[in-house]
């Protein structure tokens, strides 16, 4: 049984400077949300430990900034990722999401045809 309180995707908030760059038309990677399926029980515990809030509590305040999300996924203190740029943080989250989604598609394909070799 899972202890997760998150039932839908988690919103990612971009900082003001990054939002201004987006509005100016710069071609940037922008992650607006992280799929709920990426979260595991350890993320719930780390969220509480790192931020003193459950994932649901963070959702209610509007979501994570990309640095907080990276810290949760990496299981490191916020300070370990705080020196990254907004662009780097969004690119890392994007890569994590793409990798996760690819793995989910592979898992679904294998479960749809169990006779297929791994």
Give the integer Cα–Cα distance in Å for 84 and 108. 34
Give the integer Cα–Cα distance in Å for 46 and 90. 20
Write out the chain's pLDDT in tens, 118 residues: 234 444 578 899 988 999 999 999 999 999 999 988 888 777 777 787 777 888 888 888 888 889 988 988 888 888 899 999 999 999 999 999 999 888 877 877 777 666 666 5
Strand partners, 34: 10
pLDDT at 111: 76
Q: Global pTM?
A: 0.77
Backbone angles phi, psi at 64, to 5 degrees: -95, 155
Contact present, 89 and 81 (Cβ < 8 Å): yes
Backbone angles phi, psi at 116, to 5 degrees: -70, 135
């Amino acid at each position: 049984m899972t202890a997760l309180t998150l039932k839908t995707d988690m919103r990612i908030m971009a900082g003001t400077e990054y939002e201004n760059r987006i509005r100016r038309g710069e071609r940037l990677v922008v992650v607006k949300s992280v799929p709920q399926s990426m979260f595991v029980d350890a993320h719930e515990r780390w969220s509480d430990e790192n931020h003193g809030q459950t994932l649901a509590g963070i959702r209610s305040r509007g979501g994570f900034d990309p640095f907080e999300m990276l810290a949760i996924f990496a299981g490191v203190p916020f300070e370990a990722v705080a020196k990254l740029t907004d662009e780097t943080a969004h690119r890392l989250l994007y890569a994590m999401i793409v990798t996760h989604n690819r793995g989910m598609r592979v898992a679904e394909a294998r479960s749809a045809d169990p006779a297929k070799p791994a």
